[in-house]
Chain A
């Protein structure tokens, strides 16, 4: 169903989507926790509230299918938290299915203003309602006695109105409710109409009304009350038995009249409509949501500022030599030092704006692991560590798919089936640990399992079969080098495409993503004990520290994080080993290149320095002519036309306005990699 929204509503819609996404993100994790801990009331309440908020927002926007789904799930959780129903794995599956549909609906709503039609969700609605009613049979008698309105039949909202009216009539005969004076008459009517319900429940009733009967002002007022933590009892001064049924206030008749009245009294602009998020009120006053574009603009401006600072510093050092007014120069230097500090601080603050806790993606994993484990009939515990570690938003976004792939791999190939584990004297349930931590200016994300580990010989054999290496190369390879083969393109096109891992993404894609983020990935494995895959990622994307090097008359920047060591160039250390040269340093042998060779450029006749560069699993030695020191630079893209240039990660503009290319040695080596296996 396609939804149309006016401009005002669009704003509310955007807020709703944002909020819904947050709720659903938390939900996945909460549900898995719940499965291990099915009676955790706090958790049940939390999920109930989440669903409730979702329903409220959807109700406001008239998103029928979402309202209905959220409502029935909410009702289920209401029963669960009241102990009227017990959760089990099958029930959980149905609930998760329902939540998945809500999740998808929110996505399509976001991308194309589409939500499913009621017919599309009929199946799952039936399942959810059956689930809800399955227990209701047992409690039906009880419900009748207390004349409670069954909250079950969500889709048939209209049916509920008469039901509510009946109770109302019965109740109003017995009680006369006297309210505090400041209570809105419309609210008073409502409470009379739904006498046994608390405010939240009354709100639900309203939301479930057809759109034309739904009174938005009233909904907002109820929301305010909820936000103030008030309930029916707080509004009622006295509740006394009626002596006569003389002045019953027939609610059904009043409802329609109260609507226009309220609208006139307080024409609350819709724009300011608060979302039904009572629990969040306090937090919201301390945080604001900012469009990511604005943060990016800010980041760019700070980047420019950093460049300008570098430029001023350079200019000043030029003046120093030929200016007589030493005092002025000193003052200038002081001023620059002050500015530098501020700029650095500013840079850090802005950088932090873009940082988000890894929780944002980690929270999806309990669900993924649960589903996959169930599918392959394995038992797996997922442990999350360092969820509060923060990392640049754009890196985080790109990290999600590789992580999912790696976790899938662990479940599919790593963790053994329960019988096998028991036979091996391992705990029946496997464990996957997903962790994140900050180490200096890098973030380390790792996935560790206690599965069967990787058999290096098998990997080698497969690589030989695929023609990736020669048997001779395999012979010389260490286990660790063998694991690196997994990242080669063409390795992971498995013949038996498994349902889980074989989704067209190989480990080479994972490695490429990590690499494109200027990160590194490595595998450690102990056959029989498990596998650990570690990814090292930069904290931020835009600004990096580099080492400036010169070859001939050209200057390049090498990201400092990949520089291991700098040594003097001594021709006697270089040896020719077949196709490639190598460098001996303290008993270690490094593959050796001249930088100009790597780029097929002229120059390299005056090599003075050798830089040991880390290219992921290996260090290599690269000779350059000159060193120009360290510089903090802002990475700028080379533009669409040159985005795929090998060996260049981007460019920067230096203090004197020149463009300097940032080297990406690893991608440069990549095409030589196959030849290099076994050599390095």
Chain B
């Protein structure tokens, strides 16, 4: 909102229209995670994944997405979440668009699309949710329970999948 004011736009904006975003919410274990819908290409059922030898542990392999090769990431493993090895139970892959091209994320369950307002986003509580806070844009406490949870964690895709790894690491530390 600050930027809006800087640009002098706050005056023209009718007061009842707030900055809205749509996020796709899904479950990793019991955590409710959201990714901005603009980063999401497609949600697909798990297809054949071809493992790629000699890659990092969190890389599941590659899959065929409409004729293109897309790497699939075990996001639980990447984020150091528990139960990262029960991939057989994961049935959905979220295809996201990143700086590194399209990437598939293994998720437990799709919850749905949620509309959120920028104002609602709060800074992530440090170390309380088991996900490194540098990968989190913020959290939202929702009024109603979605999938038994009322805390939605917004993942920062740009920080997770960045072209220059070292740079990200350096900046974070």
**Which A residues fall within an 8 A CB radius of B?**
304, 307, 554, 599-601, 636-642, 645-648, 651, 653, 657-661
B115 within 8 A of A: no
Cβ-defined contact, B64 with A658, below 8 A: yes
Question: Could you pull out 21 A-B pairs where Cβ atoms are within 8 angstroms?
Answer: A307-B67, A601-B53, A638-B52, A638-B62, A639-B69, A639-B100, A639-B101, A639-B102, A640-B100, A641-B100, A641-B101, A641-B103, A645-B55, A648-B53, A651-B69, A653-B64, A653-B67, A653-B69, A657-B64, A659-B69, A661-B52
Nearest chain B CB to A624's CB is how many angstroms away?
Answer: 14
Say what secondary structure dominates the interface of chain A.
Answer: mixed
Say whether B136 faces chain A, with CB atoms less than 8 Å apart.
no
Nearest-neighbor residue (CB-CB) of A659 within chain B: B50
Work out how many contacts link A and B, with CB atoms closer than 8 A: 71
Q: Name the distance in Å between A647's Cβ and chain B's nearest Cβ.
A: 6
Complex Cα distance, B102 from A636, in Å, reads 14
Question: Known pairs A639-B103, A642-B55, A658-B64. 7 more at Cβ < 8 A?
Answer: A638-B52, A638-B62, A639-B71, A642-B52, A642-B59, A645-B55, A659-B61
Q: For residue A595, which residue of chain B has the nearest CB?
A: B53
Instruction: Mark B56-69 against chain A: 1 for CB-CB distance below 8 A, else 0.
Output: 00010111100111
| Complex CA–CA separation, A638 to B69 (angstroms) | 6
CB-contacts of B17-71 with A (<8 A): 48, 50-55, 59, 61-64, 67-71
CA distance A642 to B51 in the complex (A): 12
B135 at the interface (CB under 8 A from A): no
Tell me whether B161 and A641 are in contact (CB under 8 A): yes
Decide yes or no whether B163 CB sits under 8 A from chain A: yes
Indicate if the CB atoms of A304 and B67 lie closer than 8 Å: yes
A646 to B52, CA, bound (A): 10
On whether the beta carbons of A659 and B55 are closer than 8 Å, the reply is no
Nearest Cβ distance between residue A138 and chain B, in whole angstroms? 63
Cα A13 to Cα B20 in complex, Å, equals: 45
Most-contacted residue by chain B among A304, A640, A657 (CB, 10 A):
A640
Bound CA span A653–B163, Å: 26
- How far is B52's CA from A661's CA once the two chains are assembled, in angstroms? 8
Interface residues on B, range: 20 to 34
Q: Are A659 and B71 in contact (CB under 8 A)?
A: no
Give every chain B residue within 8 A of A660 (Cβ-Cβ).
50
- With both chains docked as a complex, state the minimum distance between the C-beta of A663 and any C-beta of chain B, in angstroms: 10
Chain A's nearest CB lies how many Å from the CB of B102?
7
B61: which A residues are within 8 A, CB to CB? 659
Contact among B52, B70, B103 for A648, CB-based, below 8 A: B52
B54-A636 in contact (CB<8A):
no
**Does B68 contact A636, Cβ atoms closer than 8 Å?**
yes
Query: A600: which B residues are within 8 A, CB to CB?
Result: 53-54
A659→B54 contact, CB < 8 A = no
Residue from B59, B68, B69 whose CB has the most chain A CB atoms within 10 Å: B69
Query: Does B63 lie within 8 Å of A638, measured CB to CB?
Result: no
Interface positions, chain B 70-99, Cβ under 8 Å from A, are 70-71, 99
| Contact call A647/B50, Cβ cutoff below 8 A | no
Q: In this complex, what residue of B is CB-closest to A635? A: B69
In the assembled complex, the CB of A302 is this many whole angstroms from the nearest CB of chain B, namely 13
Q: Cβ of A554: which chain B residues have Cβ within 8 Å of it?
A: 50-51
Nearest CB on B from A237, distance (A): 68
Determine the chain A residues whose CB is within 8 A of the CB of B67 once the complex forms.
304, 307, 653
Contact of A651 among B53, B55, B62, B103 (CB under 8 A): B62
Distance in Å: Cβ of B52 to nearest Cβ of chain A:
6
- Given A640-B101, A641-B161, A599:B54 Cβ within 8 A: yes
Q: List the B side residues contacting A640 at CB < 8 Å.
A: 99-101, 163
Contact (Cβ within 8 A) A659 B62: yes
**In residues 99-155 of chain B, which contact A (Cβ within 8 Å)?**
99-103
Q: By CB atoms of chain B within 10 A, which of A554, A638, A642, A660 has the most?
A: A642
The smallest C-beta distance from B49 to any residue of chain A, in angstroms, reads 8
Report the minimum CB–CB distance from B103 to chain A (whole Å): 6
Would you give the shortest CB distance from A634 to chain B, in whole angstroms? 9
> Are A651 and B54 within 8 A (Cβ)?
no
Asked whether B63 lies within 8 Å of A659 as measured between CB atoms, the reply is yes
Nearest Cβ in chain A — how far from B51, in angstroms?
Answer: 7
- Tell me whether B163 and A637 are in contact (CB under 8 A): no
Contact A647 B53 (CB under 8 A): yes
- The docked-state distance in angstroms from the alpha carbon of A651 to that of B64 is 10
Give the top 5 A-B pairs by smallest Cβ distance, nearest first. A599-B53, A640-B100, A659-B50, A641-B100, A639-B101
B134 to chain A, nearest CB (A): 19
Tell me, in angstroms, the Cα distance from A346 to B48 when the chains sit together. 31
A662 to chain B, nearest CB (A): 11
Which B residues lie within 8 Å of A637 (CB)? 69
Residues of A within 8 A of B50 (CB): 554, 651, 658-661
Task: Report chain B residues within 8 Å CB of A648.
Answer: 52-54
Task: Give the one of A637, A641, A648 with max B CB within 10 A.
Answer: A641
Q: Given A600-B54, A640-B100, decide whether A658 and B48 contact each other with a Cβ distance below 8 A.
A: yes
Inter-subunit contact B54/A647 (CB<8 Å): yes
Which residues does chain A contribute within 8 Å of B70, judged by CB atoms? 639
Query: CB-nearest residue of chain B relative to A657?
Result: B64
Among A639, A640, A659: residue with most chain B CB under 10 A: A659
CB distance from B167 to the nearest CB of A (A): 15
Separation of A645 and B70 alpha carbons in the complex (Å): 14
Q: Which residue of A lies closest to B49 (CB)?
A: A659
- B99: chain A residues at CB < 8 Å are 640
C-alpha gap A653/B70 in the complex (Å): 11
List, in ascending order, chain B residues with CB within 8 A of A646's CB.
54
Cα distance A648–B50 in the bound complex, in angstroms: 13
Chain A residues with CB below 8 A from B161, complex form: 641
A376 to chain B, nearest CB (A): 40
Inter-chain contact B54/A645, CB cutoff 8 Å: yes
CA distance in complex: A660, B69 (Å): 10
Q: How far is A637 from B100 in the complex, measured between Cα atoms in Å?
A: 12
CA distance A141 to B31 in the complex (A): 95
Verify A641–B71 contact, CB threshold 8 A: yes
Nearest Cβ in chain B — how far from A311, in angstroms? 11
Set of chain B residues within 8 Å of A647, measured between Cβ atoms:
53-54
CB-defined contacts of B163 to chain A, threshold 8 Å: 640
